[in-house]
Amino acid sequence: MKHLLDFEKPYIDLQRRLEELREQPEETDVPLDIGDEIRQLEEKIEAKKRELYSNLSAWQRVQLARHPQRPYSLDYINKTFSGFSELHGDRLFHDDHAIVAGFAMLGERRVMVVGTQKGRDTKENIKRNFGCAHPEGYRKALRIMGMANRFGLPIVCLIDTAGAYPGVAAEERHIAKAIAINLREMTLFSVPMISVVIGEGGSGGALGIGVSDRTLILENAYYSVISPEGCAAILWKDRAAAPQAAEALKITANDLHELNLVDEVVPEPLGGAHNDHNAMADTLRDALLRNLNELEQIDPEIRLQERYAKYRRHGKYIEG
């Protein structure tokens, strides 16, 4: 069954009617007016969708970013990329399935791809820990990115996590340090690096595989210092104020692009990425290849300087 969001209802009712019409038994003498009605309905739905999706609130986009049918990292790895060959483990402790990594082809290019991975059902979510990585996930990512760097493979990171996992074991194995080390080391890798927020960009857990030459974000993804619920709980003393918090935090792709906090917004199919995985995967491939082409034109030393300068620019203050 298709998962419906509240705000999708206005056109879903029309969609149902359209389906009913289409499902009428095919007869040789289909009256012409049904065909007309179908066409009219289709136009109406398209118009309704355009209106709806061009005016989404921050909170509605958060819901789209968390949509259970939204493509996850492995969906892109299998559709945007090809020939994925997964690599495992941090060589220290464990293979964290909340992060996947390995060799893949992007068009004609060989690259290294890393991504946080959510599960689609309970069983897979337990395996993937709902896409919330432990320290060993970040260490696996670093080990594999380090290898890519040594052998000159560009790195693409796909981000879709509510955050790094807040648990006792994660603290005991020093999740904070695992993220911090990634931030430091990813600054210094001399190969081209692109990160894409494909769904949820949950704070330090997202940034932990997010340092890059180009930061892309899908149209309905979000990237935030804290979850809207967490912010609402602290500042509004009420998790139900999450919609207000989402608005105040300026976490949508367009807001972040306006604030120069991301480099590019990748458009989604009408109605969101979950409506057409293949189209979304193709759009993302085009965006990745275009950025990769540009980055490869730049001298590695300059590219590193530009990467540093990019993060250096982030921040608003008055010198006084």
Which residues within the stretch 50-89 sit at the binding site for another protein (CB under 8 A)? 59, 62-63, 66-68
- Contact between 126 and another protein by CB under 8 A: the answer reads yes
Among the listed ranges 47-55, 119-127, 143-151, 281-289, the one in contact with another protein (CB under 8 A) is 119-127
Smallest distance, another protein to C-beta of residue 52, A: 18
Of the two residues 85 and 316, which places its CB atom closer to another protein in the complex?
Answer: 316
Please select the residue that binds another protein; options are 115, 154, 202, 272, rule is CB under 8 A. Answer: 202
- Contact between 195 and another protein by CB under 8 A: the answer reads no
Smallest distance, another protein to C-beta of residue 306, A: 12
143: CB partners within 8 A, 6+ apart:
89, 90, 91
Q: Can you read off the two tokens belonging to residue 259?
A: 């604030």
Pairwise CA distance, residues 170 & 205, whole Å: 12
Q: Can you read off the two tokens belonging to residue 67?
A: 């949509």
- Contact between 203 and another protein by CB under 8 A: the answer reads yes
Smallest distance, another protein to C-beta of residue 278, A: 22
Smallest distance, another protein to C-beta of residue 286, A: 26
Binding mask 216-245 for another protein (x = CB under 8 A): -------xxxxxxxxx-xxxxx-x-xx-xx
Please select the residue that binds another protein; options are 56, 158, 251, 292, rule is CB under 8 A. Answer: 251
Rg (CA), the chain: 21
Please select the residue that binds another protein; options are 253, 256, 273, 288, rule is CB under 8 A. Answer: 256
* Helix H or strand E segment including 83: strand 82-87
Q: Can you read off the two tokens belonging to residue 205?
A: 């857990």
Please select the residue that binds another protein; options are 20, 23, 33, 314, rule is CB under 8 A. Answer: 314
Binding mask 4-43 for another protein (x = CB under 8 A): ----------------------------------------
Pairwise CA distance, residues 172 & 169, whole Å: 5
Number of residues engaging another protein in binding (CB under 8 A):
85
CA torsion 211-247-131-72 (nearest 10°) is -80
Of the two residues 80 and 161, which places its CB atom closer to another protein in the complex?
Answer: 161
Helix (H, G, I), strand (E, B) or coil at 174: coil
Smallest distance, another protein to C-beta of residue 164, A: 7
- Contact between 259 and another protein by CB under 8 A: the answer reads yes
Taking the CB of residue 182, how many other CB atoms lie within 10 A of it? Answer: 21
Pairwise CA distance, residues 134 & 181, whole Å: 14
For residue 113, which amino acid is it? V
Contact 139, 176 (CB under 8 A): no
- Ranges of H-type helices in 242-299: 242-249, 253-258, 277-296
Of the two residues 248 and 298, which places its CB atom closer to another protein in the complex?
Answer: 248
